[in-house]
């Protein structure tokens, strides 16, 4: 499953179809694109809640190339699906990820990242060489006040940040690097203002947050003690919380603005007794968590607040299940909604 959350909208697509639904009311379909029109897809991204979708071909029955990014205008009244394709970017190697904001589009290959103006008359502004990035890891700040781009740095376990507003097109800027982990980066995310970057390594035990201006580490969050594959990490819209999902089948929720809400190890009362134990004791454990089908790949993100002291997290799983949980500052977490979104579709959709 490839998918992306965009301000309360989730995009799913398996081998031959993709849908966009409001995460707060899964029954309400926003867009449906038939597989006869686009074939199977490998990557898809939405420009916030707009009509523009970026599609990359792949899978078992592709109609588009894996080396091209096609921009689909769903608002177009054209009857021929091909006429809904309004832009195309073509490269020499497969496209691994696409990120968009209202003025730029980012296209990620295994060893290079391209930045274009967008959407009118696209012009290539920048290109950055990277270390091997087979997952296409990259995040782009959506705020118009800060044009920050983050991706894995050349050094193992490092993050590279680029302020696109302070970088002149056609020139190379001095690297702005954060040494985040000792092993390869597995997940990376920016908060809405672009002031904080979060990352996790392939070990998957710790999530570290950094100030994007000073590069200082702000906090270290512990998912667990045993290794895990993290599928995603996401900030809440106001940066008060962070959620993370892994192959352990658990979605963890951490408090960021009031970190005292997070749990601590019982050893914290003893104090540091050595560098290894001390590092463990200093970590903050999740405020709340909930479980989805074990070892089932899922993505998670925050939904709309139902009240001042009640927040929601939504998880979409590759097994076709939709989970919505609400949690309170005291760590109480309960399921509010569950559905099987594959059952919502007609058999003819597959």
Of 175, 171, 280, nearest to 225 (Cα)?
Answer: 280
Kindly state the average pLDDT of the residues 204-218: 96
**Structure-token pair, residue 231:** 């599928």
d(CA 186, CA 201): 5
Which tens digit of pLDDT belongs to each residue from 216-234?
A: 999 999 999 999 999 999 9
DSSP per-residue string spanning 217-243: EEEEEE--SS---EEEEEE-TTSSEEE
pLDDT of 31 > 50? The answer is no
Q: Which runs of consecutive H residues, i.e. helices, occur in the chain? A: 35-38, 275-282, 341-344
| % of the chain with per-residue pLDDT over 90 | 55
Of 16, 37, 32, 15, nearest to 82 (Cα)?
Answer: 37
pLDDT of 92 > 70? The answer is yes
State which of 58-72, 171-185, 276-290 shows the largest mean pLDDT: 58-72
d(CA 234, CA 252): 11
pLDDT at res. 81: 61
Of 171, 154, 69, 147, nearest to 112 (Cα)?
Answer: 154
Query: pLDDT category, 9, cuts 50, 70, 90?
Result: very low
296 vs 301, residue with greater confidence: 301
pLDDT at res. 350: 35
Domains of the chain by start residue, with CATH? 228-350 (2.130.10.10)
pLDDT of 174 > 70? The answer is no
Which tens digit of pLDDT belongs to each residue from 269-295?
A: 445 554 544 455 668 999 999 999 877
Write out the H or E segment, with its range, that includes residue 250: strand 250-255
Mean pLDDT taken over the chain: 82
pLDDT of 93 > 70? The answer is yes
Kindly state the average pLDDT of the residues 113-119: 93
pLDDT of 132 > 90? The answer is yes
345 vs 163, residue with greater confidence: 163
pTM equals 0.85
**Angstrom distances, CA of residue 343 to CA of 12, 39, 318:** 14, 21, 13
Q: What angle do CA 338, 342, 345 make, to 5 degrees?
A: 115
Query: pLDDT category, 262, cuts 50, 70, 90?
Result: very high
301 vs 10, residue with greater confidence: 301
Kindly state the average pLDDT of the residues 317-334: 91
The residues facing 19 across adjacent strands are: 12, 32
pLDDT of 2 > 80? The answer is no
pLDDT at res. 67: 96
pLDDT at res. 231: 93
Of 99, 24, 6, 4, nearest to 54 (Cα)?
Answer: 99
d(CA 140, CA 44): 16
Whether 98 and 47 have beta carbons less than 8 Å apart is answered as: no
Q: Sign of dihedral through CA atoms 250, 289, 299, 113?
A: negative
d(CA 36, CA 17): 9
331 vs 350, residue with greater confidence: 331
Q: Which residue has the tokens 């979104």?
A: 341
Kindly state the average pLDDT of the residues 95-120: 94
**Angstrom distances, CA of residue 61 to CA of 37, 43, 318:** 11, 14, 19
Q: Which of 89-98, 168-177, 248-257, 287-296 bottoms out in mean pLDDT, i.e. has the lowest? A: 168-177
Q: Which of 12-21, 159-168, 294-303 bottoms out in mean pLDDT, i.e. has the lowest? A: 12-21
């Amino acid at each position: 499953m490839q998918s992306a959350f965009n301000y309360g909208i989730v995009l799913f697509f398996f081998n031959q179809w993709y849908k966009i639904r409001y995460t707060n009311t899964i029954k309400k379909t926003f867009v449906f694109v038939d597989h006869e029109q686009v074939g199977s897809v490998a990557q898809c991204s939405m420009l916030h809640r707009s009509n523009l979708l970026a599609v990359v071909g792949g899978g078992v029955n592709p109609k588009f190339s894996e080396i091209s990014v096609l921009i689909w205008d769903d608002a177009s009244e054209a009857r021929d699906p091909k006429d809904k394709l309004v832009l195309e970017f073509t490269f020499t190697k497969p496209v691994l990820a696409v990120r968009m904001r209202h003025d730029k589009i980012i296209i990620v290959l295994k060893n290079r990242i391209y930045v274009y103006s967008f959407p009118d008359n696209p012009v290539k502004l920048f290109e950055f060489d990277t270390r091997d990035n087979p997952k296409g890891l990259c995040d782009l700040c959506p705020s118009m006040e800060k044009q920050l781009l983050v991706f894995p740095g050349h050094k193992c376990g490092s993050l590279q940040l680029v302020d696109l507003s302070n970088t002149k097109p056609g020139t190379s800027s001095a690297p702005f690097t954060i040494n985040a982990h000792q092993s390869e980066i597995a997940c990376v995310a920016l908060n809405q203002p672009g002031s904080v970057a979060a990352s996790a390594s392939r070990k998957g035990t710790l999530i570290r947050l950094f100030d994007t201006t000073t590069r200082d580490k702000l906090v270290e969050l512990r998912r667990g003690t045993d290794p895990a594959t993290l599928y995603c990490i996401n900030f809440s819209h106001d940066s008060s919380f962070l959620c993370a999902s892994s192959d352990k089948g658990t979605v963890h929720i951490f408090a960021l603005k009031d970190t005292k809400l997070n749990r601590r190890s019982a050893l914290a009362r003893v104090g540091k007794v050595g560098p290894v134990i001390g590092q463990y004791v200093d970590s903050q454990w999740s405020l709340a968590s909930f479980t989805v089908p074990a070892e089932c790949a899922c993505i998670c993100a925050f939904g709309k607040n139902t009240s001042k002291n009640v927040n929601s997290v939504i998880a979409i799983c590759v097994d076709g299940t939709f989970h919505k949980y609400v949690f309170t500052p005291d760590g109480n977490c309960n399921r509010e909604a569950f559905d099987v979104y594959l059952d919502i579709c007609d058999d003819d959709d597959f």
